[in-house]
Amino acid sequence: MAEQRQYTEADKATALALLAANGGNVFRAAKELGIPESTLRKWKNGEGVNAAVAGTCEKKKAELFDLFEEVSRLYLGRAKSREAVNKTSGRDAVIAAATALDKMRLIQNKPTTISRSELPIDLSKLNAEQLAQLDAILAAAGLPPADRA
């Protein structure tokens, strides 16, 4: 008979943080972690999870958030490169940045769909160079220039 795997509190916390980053998708998170869906579903429902796991999970979520933020910033920086945009890899950089931003929002239990009216950007506070960078990023993503009205 196969021996049942034992999971530490840190394992559970990491799994629950990754589950949050996957929008609660048990199948996807379990596949990424290489653990049974049923195990992750039990933890999601609170089975085998204590206050220490919940506290550690919040720390793990903060670590994941920081990691996704760093990835997002790196790829957005790359998307601003004229060379990257010209090679069409700028589009891929924007997709990677958007994915990281979505993960960050999921970790914070925020919706991942953002309308233009929800963006807290006062374009009047940006200088000409910043506006040009914003337009380049939007263009690389196949979006129209920012509305300055």
Let me know if residue 148 belongs to a domain: no
Let me know if residue 90 belongs to a domain: yes
19-33, 42-56, 87-101, 114-128 — which is least confidently predicted? 114-128
Let me know if residue 145 belongs to a domain: no
Domain extent for 53? 9-140
pTM for the full predicted model: 0.58
Let me know if residue 56 belongs to a domain: yes
DSSP 5-57: PP--HHHHHHHHHHHHHTTT-HHHHHHHHTS-HHHHHHHHTTTT--HHHHHHH
Note the pLDDT tens digit of each residue in 37-72.
999 999 999 998 999 998 999 999 999 888 888 887
Let me know if residue 147 belongs to a domain: no
Let me know if residue 146 belongs to a domain: no
Let me know if residue 3 belongs to a domain: no
Domain count for the chain:
1
pLDDT at 149: 57
